[in-house]
Structure 1
Amino acid sequence: MNKTFLKYVCGVGFAIGIVTACKDEFLTRDPQGQYSPTALKTPSGVEGLLVGAYAMIDGNGLDGQDSWNNDIQSWVFGGLASDDSYKGTDAGDQPEQSFIEKWDFQPTNNHIKNKWRGLYKGIARTNDVINTLAEVPEVADTRRAQIIAEARFLRGLYHFEAKKMWKTIPYIDENTYKLDDLESTKIPNDKDVWPMIEADLKAASEGLPETQSQAGRPTKWAALAFLAKAYMYQGWNVTTGAVNLPALQKAKPILEQIIATGRYTLAPKFEDNFLIATRNNAESIFEIQYSVSSASGDAADQGVGLAHPYIDPWGCCGFYQPSQNLVNAFKTDATGHPLLDTFNDSDVKNDQGLKYSDPFEPYTGTLDPRLDQTVGRRGILFKDFKIHGSDFIRDQTYAGPYSPKKHISEKAGFGINGWGNLSSNNYRIMRYGMILLWLAEVEVELGNLENARKLVNQIRTRAANPAGFVKKAVQGTKSRDDYTVLNEPAANYLIKTYDAAWADAATARKAVRFEERLEFAMEGHRFFDLQRWGIAAETLNKYVAVEQTKRVYKKGAVFTKGKNEYFPIPQEAIDRSYKAGAATLTQDPAYK
């Protein structure tokens, strides 16, 4: 994606609860430049507005607010609120994230507030594109249709991300939003917005090309993939878990159509989804593009910038640490299958309480090899840097011995200023593996268990490719950077396909969902998967009952069914929605 982000003029950014005044400073990317209102009403001006609409995907365009609140990787909400991870760092750092981790969601939480602001600012920008384009007749019809399709894709995506977060939201399109009426977007959140999100994504799929010459712009297939995802999120009651077959039946032909194109395939190695050298590969359907070409690092992956190890070359800040529960989920039995019901009965051995220089006997049981592509743990080489140890962790006593790994760049992705926390490691927001496993979910509910098993086995076959296993490294004596990599696996990896038929739908369902956790762990999806399946309360309360014995700050945490599946609407947004003396936004009754 082009990283030349536009500077906005007065009026851009109006949305529910957001008023962006005229400013002399702008949201800039190299090269810097200034656009007047007249300049915007030109073909190049419209293209600039469109690029600006993309800016909110990575969260870096929120008027200087912390990008982690609005980053589409959603680790604060999809990760910390799940059983995948802890807040990490130390007890005093970002306490509002601790409230999210313990499901104490408050309308005044700044992370929740800024997530709302960022998404609705993104929506406002897409509407600016469409409204301004209508005043620029010079744009050729073919390009005009594609601009509208890109804007509607982004608008559908931003509304979709909002719908995941909040039970009821306002849907704002170009007809709602009036530049000369500051109250035009103060509308109620009393409608079912799924049909409107679907309409945007359908329209985008009809107007977008099947391929794009510029990486980072969506294709027809990306729009269809997100449309299928929208149906998948309507596939179960979020409180009871009751299945909604009509929604899943709508998703199925779209998923099958994407597969049938033959355009996408699983990358040869699992790690290819997390390396700079393999960006925009055959598995990637839509990928957020990052760059470290500028000294400012503005185009880098800032949203997870503080979720890096505490050791050199990062030095900050230790957020987003994987949970022991997640690590245990990667254990396998003697047949190479996951322990679906008993994985958390005992822990994978760790170095809690040990210095990196202390002797350590590693865990010798069998493991899914994806563990060491997902989690940094003692004795395993961390990307191409150092062998992991306690010096990677800011406060091991508080948040445990593990580090996040997927989003961390290799050395080649460091910014030109040399700071590793800003990298050019893209985020694969939509990839082919998701399509396969979503179709497997649908097939289970429709009774097609054999097809579901075959789909899951495609994922497991790729994971079992020994070329993708992390290799054993032996520490040298000169420094922490002195190590030798051996041509042998780093741990006792054992993973096999499911060769026997699943006994029933309940077994199949459990296996498919467990596979999704293993495949997509620490990518910001887990909380929302538990939410959409309607099993968040039972899963997370069972999780915290054990985890609080390891992380004492979790004592007393309770996930309240019928409430904590969604976040409260920010109080700021409600306060700013007043019109004719009354708020147009209504708080989720569970939070009143």
Structure 2
Amino acid sequence: MKSKNIIKFSLTFALAAGIVTACNDDFLTREPQGQYSPSALQTAKGVEGVLLGAYAMLDGQGLDGQDAWNNDIQSWVFGGLASDDAYKGTDAGDQPEESFIEKYDFQATNGHIKNKWRGLFKGVARSNDALNTLKAVTDINADRKKQIEAEARFLRGVFHFEAKKMWKNIPYIDDKTYNLNDLESTKVPNDKDAWPSIEADFQAAMAVLPDKQAQVGRPTKWAAMAFLAKAYMFQGFNISTGAANTAKLQAAKAILDQIVASGRFKLVDNFRDNHDASTRNNVESIFEIQYAASSANADAADAGVGLAHPYTSPWGCCGFYQPSQNLVNAFRTDANGLPLLDTFNDVDVKNDQGVGQDDAYEPSTASLDPRLDHTVGRRGILFIDYKIHNRDFIRDQTYAGPYSPKKHIPSKAFTGIAGWGNLTSNNYRIMRYSMVLLWLAECEVELGNLDKGRALVNQIRTRAANPSGFVQKAVQGSSRDAYSLVFDSKGNPVPAANYVIKTYSSPWTDAATARKAVRFETRLEFGMEGHRFFDLVRWGIAAETLNKYNAVEATKRVYKKGANFVKGKHEFFPIPQEAIDRSEKDGKPTLTQDPSYK
């Protein structure tokens, strides 16, 4: 399974290539034994190892002194907990720094924020290491040299992009500035707009990268194009007013149209196939962060989401990142199978809050979008293929609610439950075709092509309505770990709930309603994938959406009382104080704090 995959990138090869063991007549100039030598890596084999070191930072792991979830690429702490998708989960005393993030008490000393910065800019540094090492390599053919440069620039673009989502003003550090042996070279001021440089990295990568890579996990030109389009989308609206930036949306549309017209990608038939390890790198995938199933090496898997598992066996830890009632309510549908765009949160989908472990319980019979039960674990519904969700999945229901996260957890059929590593072995689909379609729908709506936007949204809804992808009803067997699937008299699977979903049949004629429908669809499609907070910010609707959310949630979760999103401030996180302190050059910091946090 691993032979053609870049699964769990590691510096092991790079460091091995850099160990100097040969004798040297002049001991005064010999590199110390066992030490990393940049010059020793200036070979074809060595630079490939350095490049793998840059890939290693995509998963946000591998840094001493910090927990993997602080910088996990899925960004569930920042993109999830800070949004209306999820609660911190677990109990009140666990990881209190995340509670501050959930309540918009963003502090420059928060360790999670500090480590996110640290991890992303370590990725930038490793990308620049690869580029600088490459310049001195002579035993490599010209084509591969161009490919390495393109891959490194793609990675550098991704790391800077992820940072630009987090912080209002970031330093852009390129290979011309960065010097591995000179700490001062990293002290670059954050006084320039980083977007043009990020765009340039993706543009350079897409001009060179191939249509298809021999190894999955390496980016293609389509991945570079999709990330470039995403960079344009993040500049597509004024975050203060919500007004559209037509030029950026037109630029995004031009690229997105090319991806669609290529015919290289399509929606998979079943929504769940985008969220299981057994169906990774499928025809919908444009770029995935690769992980391995390894009971011997938990680091081969995504330790960053290790906390976000249900509290019950076989996981036994830890109960973080629990879906909100607001998110669950968003999957309600009307009699026509359409979302309740304005009234979805008026009535709660039935839950088992306060219902005992052994008490009788029947799930909601209300009409629901079937994607709910691929996104959220809830009482009485089969949790993937493990067992039926019950109260024992939750560490502290009173504190964090009755729901569990589901998308990032691979199936039992895939893992075999052979150790912690297998339980977090699912790839992260950071870029897939459904994103392209919904970004394109956004562009069409903002550019006045409302019905083209409707057609694109309907593609997404048609896939979601495929009954072969519905979660099947199950009944508990002789123990809580046992269950039986339910079939009707004709042998057809019985759906687990009253799934009612249809496409938009009437033409869209009102831009405001069309805009709302596209954005709502984006939430339904990508809920609990770490994107929601950043989407609300880029659309310019974070304050109104999140304050309305918190007003209701405070009646359900006591700890959310007082949570207040301040418009013009909380769209971005503060630059870590440690980063500012360490940026001092000639007696003065080169990094400047966001004025909102001074």
Are the equivalent residues in 1 in contact too, given 2:131–2:152 (CA < 8 A)?
yes
1:561–1:546: structure 2 CA closer, same or farther, 3 Å change rule? same
Are the equivalent residues in 1 in contact too, given 2:315–2:423 (CA < 8 A)?
no
Q: 1:61-113 CA deviation, whole Å, 9 max, x = no partner?
A: 22252111111100000000000000000000000000000111000000000
Who is 1:572 aligned against? 578
The 1-side partners of 2:182 and 2:40 are apart by: 22
What SS does the aligned partner of 1:206 have?
helix
What SS does the aligned partner of 1:379 have?
coil
The 2-side partners of 1:117 and 1:482 are apart by: 44
The 2-side partners of 1:408 and 1:53 are apart by: 26
The 1-side partners of 2:331 and 2:92 are apart by: 28
Who is 1:584 aligned against? 590
1:424–1:48: structure 2 CA closer, same or farther, 3 Å change rule? same
Who is 2:69 aligned against? 68
Who is 1:316 aligned against? 317
Question: What's the offset of the Cα at 1:179?
Answer: 2.7
Who is 1:53 aligned against? 54
Q: 1:267-313 CA deviation, whole Å, 9 max, x = no partner?
A: 01111100122110000000111002361221101110110000000
For residues 508-587 of structure 1, what are the structure 2 equivalents within 5 Å?
508-587=514-593
The 2-side partners of 1:138 and 1:415 are apart by: 44
For residues 422-437 of structure 1, what are the structure 2 equivalents within 5 Å?
422-437=423-438
Who is 2:385 aligned against? 384
The 2-side partners of 1:413 and 1:162 are apart by: 33
Matched, 1:240 2:226: no
For residues 276-425 of structure 1, what are the structure 2 equivalents within 5 Å?
276-293=277-294, 295-414=296-415, 417-419=418-420, 422-425=423-426
What SS does the aligned partner of 1:430 have?
strand
Task: Specify the code of the residue in structure 1 equivalent to 2:234.
Answer: Y
Task: Specify the code of the residue in structure 2 equivalent to 1:521.
Answer: G
Task: Specify the code of the residue in structure 1 equivalent to 2:10.
Answer: F
The 2-side partners of 1:441 and 1:37 are apart by: 46
The 2-side partners of 1:534 and 1:482 are apart by: 47
What SS does the aligned partner of 2:129 have?
helix
Who is 2:473 aligned against? 472
1:416–1:387: structure 2 CA closer, same or farther, 3 Å change rule? closer
Question: What's the offset of the Cα at 1:180?
Answer: 3.3
Who is 1:15 aligned against? none
The 1-side partners of 2:194 and 2:499 are apart by: 45
1:42–1:150: structure 2 CA closer, same or farther, 3 Å change rule? same
Are the equivalent residues in 1 in contact too, given 2:382–2:474 (CA < 8 A)?
yes
Who is 2:489 aligned against? none
Question: What's the offset of the Cα at 1:239?
Answer: 1.7
The 2-side partners of 1:417 and 1:515 are apart by: 37
1:356–1:285: structure 2 CA closer, same or farther, 3 Å change rule? same
Who is 1:449 aligned against? 450
The 2-side partners of 1:327 and 1:3 are apart by: 33
The 2-side partners of 1:448 and 1:141 are apart by: 45
What SS does the aligned partner of 1:307 have?
coil
The 1-side partners of 2:116 and 2:419 are apart by: 29
Question: What's the offset of the Cα at 1:240?
Answer: 1.5
Who is 1:29 aligned against? none
Matched, 1:250 2:244: no
Question: What's the offset of the Cα at 1:419?
Answer: 2.4
TM-score normalized with structure 1 length: 0.94
Are the equivalent residues in 1 in contact too, given 2:305–2:424 (CA < 8 A)?
no
Task: Specify the code of the residue in structure 2 equivalent to 1:546.
Answer: V
Query: How many equivalent pairs are there?
Result: 572
Task: Specify the code of the residue in structure 1 equivalent to 2:440.
Answer: L
Are the equivalent residues in 2 in contact too, given 1:444–1:508 (CA < 8 A)?
yes
Question: What's the offset of the Cα at 1:361?
Answer: 2.7
Who is 2:10 aligned against? 5
The 2-side partners of 1:4 and 1:241 are apart by: 39
The 2-side partners of 1:389 and 1:421 are apart by: 23
Matched, 1:494 2:500: yes
What SS does the aligned partner of 2:473 have?
strand
Alpha-carbon RMSD = 1.7
What SS does the aligned partner of 2:185 have?
coil
Are the equivalent residues in 2 in contact too, given 1:355–1:389 (CA < 8 A)?
no
Question: What's the offset of the Cα at 1:184?
Answer: 1.3
Matched, 1:108 2:109: yes
Task: Specify the code of the residue in structure 1 equivalent to 2:92.
Answer: A
Question: What's the offset of the Cα at 1:2?
Answer: 4.5
Matched, 1:87 2:88: yes
For residues 55-204 of structure 1, what are the structure 2 equivalents within 5 Å?
55-204=56-205
Question: What's the offset of the Cα at 1:9?
Answer: 6.5
The 2-side partners of 1:142 and 1:404 are apart by: 44
Task: Specify the code of the residue in structure 1 equivalent to 2:517.
Answer: A
The 2-side partners of 1:64 and 1:530 are apart by: 32
1:168–1:197: structure 2 CA closer, same or farther, 3 Å change rule? same
Q: 1:443-494 CA deviation, whole Å, 9 max, x = no partner?
A: 0001000100000000000000000000000112x21122111120000000
Who is 1:461 aligned against? 462
Identity over aligned pairs, percent: 74
Question: What's the offset of the Cα at 1:6?
Answer: 1.6
1:413–1:61: structure 2 CA closer, same or farther, 3 Å change rule? farther
Q: 1:31-75 CA deviation, whole Å, 9 max, x = no partner?
A: xx9864443111111000101101111111222521111111000
Q: 1:234-259 CA deviation, whole Å, 9 max, x = no partner?
A: 00111211111111011011000000
Who is 1:482 aligned against? 482
Are the equivalent residues in 2 in contact too, given 1:369–1:470 (CA < 8 A)?
yes
What SS does the aligned partner of 2:430 have?
strand
Q: 1:309-358 CA deviation, whole Å, 9 max, x = no partner?
A: 00000000000000000000000000000000000001000000112311
The 2-side partners of 1:260 and 1:4 are apart by: 32
Who is 1:17 aligned against? none
Question: What's the offset of the Cα at 1:411?
Answer: 1.6
Are the equivalent residues in 1 in contact too, given 2:407–2:528 (CA < 8 A)?
yes
Who is 2:25 aligned against? none
Greater displacement, 408-417 / 149-158: 408-417
Q: 1:134-191 CA deviation, whole Å, 9 max, x = no partner?
A: 1111111000000000000000000000000000000000011123322111121000
Structure 2 residue runs of 5 or longer lacking an equivalent are 1-5, 19-31, 487-492
Question: What's the offset of the Cα at 1:412?
Answer: 3.7
Task: Specify the code of the residue in structure 1 equivalent to 2:373.
Answer: D
1:4–1:469: structure 2 CA closer, same or farther, 3 Å change rule? closer
Are the equivalent residues in 1 in contact too, given 2:236–2:245 (CA < 8 A)?
yes
Task: Specify the code of the residue in structure 1 equivalent to 2:548.
Answer: K
For residues 8-23 of structure 1, what are the structure 2 equivalents within 5 Å?
none
The 1-side partners of 2:550 and 2:587 are apart by: 43
Structure 1 residue runs of 5 or longer lacking an equivalent are 13-23, 26-32
What SS does the aligned partner of 2:509 have?
coil
What SS does the aligned partner of 2:474 have?
strand
Are the equivalent residues in 2 in contact too, given 1:387–1:475 (CA < 8 A)?
yes
Question: What's the offset of the Cα at 1:425?
Answer: 1.0
1:3–1:555: structure 2 CA closer, same or farther, 3 Å change rule? closer
1:543–1:285: structure 2 CA closer, same or farther, 3 Å change rule? same
What SS does the aligned partner of 1:474 have?
strand
The 1-side partners of 2:377 and 2:65 are apart by: 31
The 2-side partners of 1:6 and 1:428 are apart by: 23
The 2-side partners of 1:413 and 1:305 are apart by: 17
